[in-house]
């Protein structure tokens, strides 16, 4: 690979990381009070829905699908299958 191609890949990687990190931070985890107890919710989605949207919301789920650890998967009750690319 040429040096210019490597530099372009590095810059693109940084841009993608920053965009994904911003998206992840937008969908921050918060505790909202429910009827019986507090509910772990997504701040952004809950604000848009004007109701508690459980965390991880669909956006965070997509971001984290390929990064699940065994412990996190069991806590969330999700399978460990990686997301399929379409």
pLDDT in tens, 73-86: 555 555 444 443 33
Residue 22 lies in a domain: yes
Query: Between 67 and 8, where is the model more confident?
Result: 8
Give the position of tokens 């040096």: 3
Residue 16 pLDDT greater than 50, yes or no: yes
Residue 84 lies in a domain: no
Residue 83 lies in a domain: no
- Structure tokens given for 56: 């991880």
- The DSSP code for 65 is G
In the chain, pLDDT over 70 holds for what percent of residues? 74
59: Cβ–Cβ under 8 A, 6 or more apart, which residues?
A: 23, 27, 42, 44, 45
Return the sign of the alpha-carbon dihedral for residues 86, 29, 55, 45: negative
pTM (2 d.p.): 0.64
Q: Mean pLDDT for the chain?
A: 81
The average pLDDT across 48-73 equals 80
Number of domains present in the structure of the chain: 1
Residue 31 pLDDT greater than 80, yes or no: yes
């Amino acid at each position: 690979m040429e040096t210019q191609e490597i530099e372009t890949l590095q810059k693109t990687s940084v841009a993608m990381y920053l965009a994904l990190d911003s998206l992840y931070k937008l969908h921050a985890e918060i505790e909202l009070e429910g009827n019986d107890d507090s509910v772990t919710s997504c701040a952004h989605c809950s604000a848009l829905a004007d109701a508690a949207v459980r965390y991880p919301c669909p956006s965070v789920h997509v971001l984290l699908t390929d990064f699940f650890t065994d412990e996190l998967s069991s806590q969330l009750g999700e399978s460990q299958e990686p997301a399929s690319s379409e």
